[in-house]
Amino acid sequence: MTPGRSQIRGFDGDPLDLLPLVFARPKEALAGAHALLAAGPAPYDASVAHQVIGIWQRDFGDLTVAVGHLRRARALAARSGSHNREADVLATLGAALIHAGRTRQGMGAFQRAVARGDGLTAARVLYRRGYVRWVLGDHREALADLRQAIPVLRRSHDTIWTARALTLRATVHLALGSADQAEADFLAAELLWAGTDQDHDKADAVENRGLAAFRAGDLPAALRHFDEAARLYAKLGTPMFVLNIRRCAALLAAGLATEALEEADAAANLLARSGGQSTRGAELLLTAARAAVAAGDPRTAMARATLAARQFSRQHRDWWHAHARLVLLQARFASGQVSGRLVGDAAAVAARLARLGSPEAVQAELLAGRTALALGRAHDAARHLAVAAKGRNRGPAFARADGWVAHALCAEAAGRTHAVLGACRRGLELLDEHRMTMGASELRARAAAQGAELALLAQRVALGRGDARGLLRWSERWRATALTVPPTRPPDDPELLRHVTAFREIAARVEEARGEGIPVPSLERELRRLERDIRAHTLRARSQGGRAGHHLDVGALLDCLDGSGDGRLVEIVAVDGTLHVLLCGRGRVRRFTAGRFADAALEADHARAGLRRVAYRRPGDWLPLLEVTGRRMEEALLGPAVRHLGDGPVVVVPPGRLHGVPWALLPSLRERVLSVSPSATAWLRARRLRPPAEHVVLVRGPGLATGGAEVPKLAARYGTATVLRDGTATAADVLAAIDGSGLTHIAAHGTFRADSPMFSSLRMDDGPLTVHDFERLDKAPYRMVLSSCDSGRLQPVGADELLGLATALLPLGTAGIVASGLPVDDEAVIPLMLSLHDGLRRGLSLAEALRDARGRVPRDALHQATGWSFSAVGAG
């Protein structure tokens, strides 16, 4: 019998079995340890029990309590006379002390553990020292420990510890940018875990597959594995702070900065309340700082990064401290604190990160180069940017793109315009490949933000050359690109369908309760949970293949315009805050300089506010004010181009953040056949769509002030139309009816969700019909008329991308949509819609029919404002 051990009454089994159990079934192991202590064991077994409790508290509870149990375990191990028992406990204690921020004490414990242990125990101690060295950022030292430990663990046929060591080595390789070596180790570890019952370690293996997918640039796969790992951890009842950090990194790469910041802050608050590991707390602060920079909140980023840097310094974690310093400097640059000191600080951090072997050294060099450029220090900028440009040759696509940005900036500073365009082309092609792995339209749209700078650099070159066609091509290159390829159709996943059905049911109950003034907080919480689950399913969808097809053929565009009755396409481009109007028509592209972007946006806000007041029947003489606002908008948006529009139809392609402009309010556009498009490419594609057989679907949702009065009248006029109303307008039936239809008219309450545009919806008899639902269509209606408030409103995201009901339909085969981006008066809508359909029945396009309908409604402010609030989107 091992010294210090004895037979234990009241405890069944070998106490040493509790140690692996704490990573397989933690709660069961904790209960077993308490039962063991209650049985009055000898010092050896008592030390095992306290070690198990200490591990549980370290990983899942209170770190201070954990250290107390581990100190007791170490004292009992010493009394037992077993040097290997004491070494094992010292290694566990050392890890706990380091997670508590007491790095020197923790490393001292490891030094004593290495001296006391031998054989297999020594190898396990070396593995754990490798782990804490990874936590501290001492990656090369961690690899050295693992190189010693893994052969011993393998020779001892110690499956569990060998798998853990391989997993750790893979993680260290990823930190150093060695993805291939990491993948081999992850695979070897996964094969070992398959033969064990270590549930917690198996969950960790799933998480690591997500990490490997993320490093390889496969964001949908990363999110899928992270979500599965979260489910497994939740089933075990264990916290998942490392998973939170990794998932936030994936969200940031996907352009979901706000979500990443919220998740990091929530995890940090949870950890602080539970008295958890201070090392993880500091890492969560750093993650939140990164997310805040990406979300455009440099003040929050500076606060989080400063606090993280202080904690890393106290914990003697140089790797992490250097990364926190980098994020702090990036936040200062984003807040406008550009100075020579910032150049020096960024260069110093770059040197530190390079010494540590961090791939983030590229970001620090890029920051130093940007700052030097802003200060006019061309020589310094070129030196730093040349180093940063080397990053274009390694790492996942979203990381290599930064290397191409550095290369383009370096070429711009040297006046080598051809090289600038080459770098922008290569960088955007790289990002195209990255985004085309994503099935979700939201991910594609938000991920476009990363290419904005490359597109801007190319636009500047085209402007400098006076190349209007080049400016058009480069502006189209990164505008509304998410619409060029249909999103992956959501899978017929039973769990997803259950979530969607439950969401619709609960949303309807919440809406009913709100209408009666009854608070239902539990239902609202469940609704938010279902939203998160539906969104998570959508984001992890992989692309079904295809290529981004958004390279504009300018010649084909001009030919199409000439064939459409002397038409003009007006593409408005914002470059460095100034609006440039690209007027396409009569075989050429001409550029005019208009106003400032900020002025145009302000005037558009005034116009929208005025139209809202009219819709809500606020007293006042609004028409003269709207006329003045319309003239000011025209001057800011179109400038001198307004004198060259000709007499034919006009297509306006605005920047994403100006898509909500009520374009019909502009005097020069008011009497024209006018349509709006997210991009020239999208308009040209819509023009080429062939209309299907004319099958008309009319839908009336519940709760309209007028009862959707235009629908029965339209039903009588169309005769053979499919009509859904009065209980038959359920989401499923509506989707089935409109799939592939020639013309669909929906009169229903619309809700626009700026916080989550994909949950913007139309209210059907059984609840909301969301953008996610529309993306399940095989083929969207060829033409669509949405007569409700806000149904045409779109949310600008990414670089120049848009999300909303309208943009969900365009890539699925819809040629044109008539919708309002503003609240409208239900009664005033009826004559406008009836006149619109009269025009459609005469064979007019949507834009032609809308122009004529505006001219036929009464001339009072309410009806005029209603007409101006609607737009024809696309080319139907």
If you write DSSP's letter for every residue of 9-48 in order, what string do you get?
Answer: TT--S-GGGHHHHTTTSHHHHHHHHHHHHHT---HHHHHH
Q: Taking the CB of residue 144, how many other CB atoms lie within 10 A of it?
A: 15
Backbone angle region of 788, left / alpha / beta, with phi > 0 → left and psi within -120 to 50 → alpha: beta
Specify the pLDDT at position 12.
64
Summarize the confidence of residues 324-348 as an average pLDDT: 95
Dihedral of alpha carbons 379, 461, 430, 338, sign: positive
Cβ proximity of 380 and 372 under 8 Å = yes
The larger pLDDT score, comparing residue 549 to residue 35, is at: 35
What token pair was written down for 660? 């909500």
Q: Predicted confidence band at 546 (pLDDT cuts at 50, 70, 90)?
A: low
Specify the pLDDT at position 550.
59
Share of the chain above pLDDT 70, in %: 96
Q: Predicted confidence band at 114 (pLDDT cuts at 50, 70, 90)?
A: very high
Q: Taking the CB of residue 711, how many other CB atoms lie within 10 A of it?
A: 27
Helices marked H in 176-317:
179-193, 199-215, 219-236, 241-253, 257-274, 278-294, 298-314
Specify the pLDDT at position 443.
72
CA 537 – CA 752 distance, rounded (Å)? 21
Specify the pLDDT at position 480.
67
Specify the pLDDT at position 20.
85
For the cut 90, the answer to whether the pLDDT of residue 813 exceeds it is no
- Give 242-275 pLDDT, tens digit per residue: 999 999 999 988 888 999 999 999 999 998 888 7
User: What residues contact residue 178 under an 8 Å CB cut-off, 6+ apart?
Assistant: none
Least confident of 33-42, 307-316, 472-481, 804-813: 804-813
Specify the pLDDT at position 631.
95
Among the listed residues 5, 8, 1, the one whose alpha carbon sits nearest the alpha carbon of residue 80: 5
For the cut 50, the answer to whether the pLDDT of residue 1 exceeds it is no
DSSP conformation letters of 199-237: HHHHHHHHHHHHHHHHHTT-HHHHHHHHHHHHHHHHHHT
For the cut 60, the answer to whether the pLDDT of residue 297 exceeds it is yes
Cβ proximity of 543 and 488 under 8 Å = yes
Specify the pLDDT at position 348.
96
- Give 419-467 pLDDT, tens digit per residue: 999 999 999 888 887 777 777 777 777 777 778 889 999 999 999 999 9
Cβ proximity of 696 and 718 under 8 Å = yes
Q: Taking the CB of residue 117, how many other CB atoms lie within 10 A of it?
A: 22
Q: Taking the CB of residue 399, how many other CB atoms lie within 10 A of it?
A: 21
- Amino acid making up residue 272: A
Cβ proximity of 870 and 853 under 8 Å = no
Angle 664-665-667 from CA coordinates, rounded to 5°: 95
Tell me the pLDDT of the chain averaged across its residues: 88
Summarize the confidence of residues 372-391 as an average pLDDT: 92
CA 479 – CA 555 distance, rounded (Å)? 19
Q: Predicted confidence band at 492 (pLDDT cuts at 50, 70, 90)?
A: low
For the cut 50, the answer to whether the pLDDT of residue 804 exceeds it is yes
DSSP conformation letters of 546-603: --------HHHHHHHHHTTTS-EEEEEEEETTEEEEEEEETTEEEEEEEEEHHHHHHH
User: What residues contact residue 485 under an 8 Å CB cut-off, 6+ apart?
Assistant: 436, 444, 543, 546, 547, 548, 549, 811
CA 732 – CA 412 distance, rounded (Å)? 54
Least confident of 125-129, 338-342, 463-467, 477-481: 477-481
Cβ proximity of 814 and 740 under 8 Å = no
For the cut 50, the answer to whether the pLDDT of residue 8 exceeds it is no
The larger pLDDT score, comparing residue 756 to residue 98, is at: 98
Which residue in the block uniquely carries the two structure tokens 């006019």?
376
For the cut 60, the answer to whether the pLDDT of residue 4 exceeds it is no
Considering the entire predicted model, what is its pTM? 0.81
- Give 59-84 pLDDT, tens digit per residue: 877 888 999 999 999 999 999 999 99
Which residue in the block uniquely carries the two structure tokens 């969301």?
770
Cβ proximity of 744 and 866 under 8 Å = no
For the cut 90, the answer to whether the pLDDT of residue 291 exceeds it is yes
- Give 741-759 pLDDT, tens digit per residue: 999 999 998 888 877 888 8
Share of the chain above pLDDT 90, in %: 54
